[in-house]
Structure 1
């Protein structure tokens, strides 16, 4: 799930404070898109028939995944993964910026080769697109106030109030795996974190990306922290971010898949995640 729009201001503020400018980013707003952990990938060879170049396309309004930086250049986690792919393949590449709604059309009309914007992998989109192996998966995490950071479990959260966004996959997960907890549903993450800071819920359960920026920002003011481990069940939280390209471009898929496996094996993907997120999501 993409970071909620209500947190964009917080994310931008944190980035300004941390590095002096906002990191423009990759837009990933297809239905049911999930922003995921770096996904362990099986090592594999890079195809010997790599393309001479790759024309990536992305959008520019979804930090920290795609956005325009203080120098007016496109960057973000997805954008830098795309650039790392080209470096690993030793080929030139370009990154064009288009409105998110036009990304599929750009590839379909052969004006770009691949989309680096977290486009959802759905049956409907697979009529026109193929996808790489995943390179990033956003875990779900519990967040609790200090000093009440006991390890969350069905036993320790029995009878405790857990804030979740109404109708979200996080609410479904709490219902199914923490049945003795008392879910408190709200309309969005801003309200969710406000309840936690005010002590009106015992914990919240949500995506780690938005939570990490809130914890690092002025709104949290050091009140809270992640509690327990990360949850990555694909049935609830998706199977991760992927590069998308034309459905019949199997040669490009082989090259990009090989590059992503190599970038995972040598730690590049993990390093990029640390560059764009304020703390480890795990």
Structure 2
């Protein structure tokens, strides 16, 4: 499947939350990766990370506008100062850290393979050998397949999780790799019961890093300190746990 054209243009989907004082911030999310970030039918943004972003802004006493940005352009647009931070289920990795800075982790999310129920795929290298595997482009999931399966599979890239799921359900790929929460939503939402989670949670510290963090420009050291303090606050008082419980059935606390 051809990837959609890259671009730095922001979508019209925004969510603004105002608090007492401090410079206003613009925070980017993808708006296409439920349950972490999504675009509602009315065009507004929602999901675990949008609610968490608002909680962090409250702790920092900042007015925040949350905007949607296509994944492929999300780091370049940050560097180009189109917004001030990224909260889009972005794992902290050495490769990304060459370009941007990160807050301390605010979430740890396992990854899984999903395949057709009758495929015989169990997540092992043997069962995936010769198969077509899909992953969202420029993600740690994509790099995981590259590292662990190499040329033993045909790796196909997708611009959004929605398009990845569409090709999995249509049989154009044999398996997909995504976060555990997204994978669980796919399986639960499949009325035909044609999809299943396969194997165990995928672990590789070198690929997935220590967790998901807020993406920031390297020069914004004071903003990083503010996010770090706010993240510590929502973790310590249980706010993160309460927000996450609305969206996922596993612990995301780093």
Q: Please say whether Structure 1 and Structure 2 have the same fold, judged by a TM-score greater than 0.5.
A: yes
Does 1:206 pair with 2:177?
Answer: yes
Return closer, same or farther for 1:76/1:187 CA change in 2, 3 Å cut-off: same
**Could you say which residue in structure 2 is the equivalent of 1:236?**
207
Query: How many aligned residue pairs are there?
Result: 217
Deviation, structure 1 residue 165: 1.8
Which of the residues 212, 226, 240 maps onto 1:269? 240
Which of the residues 65, 68, 80 maps onto 1:95? 65
Residue 251 of structure 1 aligns to a residue whose secondary structure is helix
Deviation, structure 1 residue 132: 0.3
Does 1:140 pair with 2:117?
Answer: no
Large movers: runs of 4+ above 6 Å: 122-125, 144-150
TM-score under structure 2 length normalisation: 0.60
Residue 81 of structure 2 aligns to a residue whose secondary structure is helix
**Could you say which residue in structure 2 is the equivalent of 1:39?**
none
Larger C-alpha radius of gyration, 1 or 2? 1
Deviation, structure 1 residue 59: 4.8
Q: Which runs of 5 or more residues in structure 1 are unaligned? A: 7-23, 27-50, 177-181
Query: 2 CA distance for matches of 1:270 and 1:149?
Result: 36
**Could you say which residue in structure 1 is the equivalent of 2:145?**
171
Any conservation in 2 of the 1:139–1:231 contact (CA below 8 Å)?
yes
**Could you say which residue in structure 2 is the equivalent of 1:185?**
154
TM-score under structure 1 length normalisation: 0.55
Return closer, same or farther for 1:118/1:194 CA change in 2, 3 Å cut-off: same
Any conservation in 2 of the 1:164–1:206 contact (CA below 8 Å)?
no
Any conservation in 2 of the 1:212–1:281 contact (CA below 8 Å)?
no
Query: 1 CA distance for matches of 2:31 and 2:155?
Result: 25
CA shift digits 1:34-59 (9 cap, x unpaired)? xxxxxxxxxxxxxxxxx835513225
Alignment of 1:22-37 (within 5 A): none
Q: Which runs of 5 or more residues in structure 2 are unaligned? A: 5-12, 16-20, 136-141, 158-163
Query: 1 CA distance for matches of 2:132 and 2:14?
Result: 26
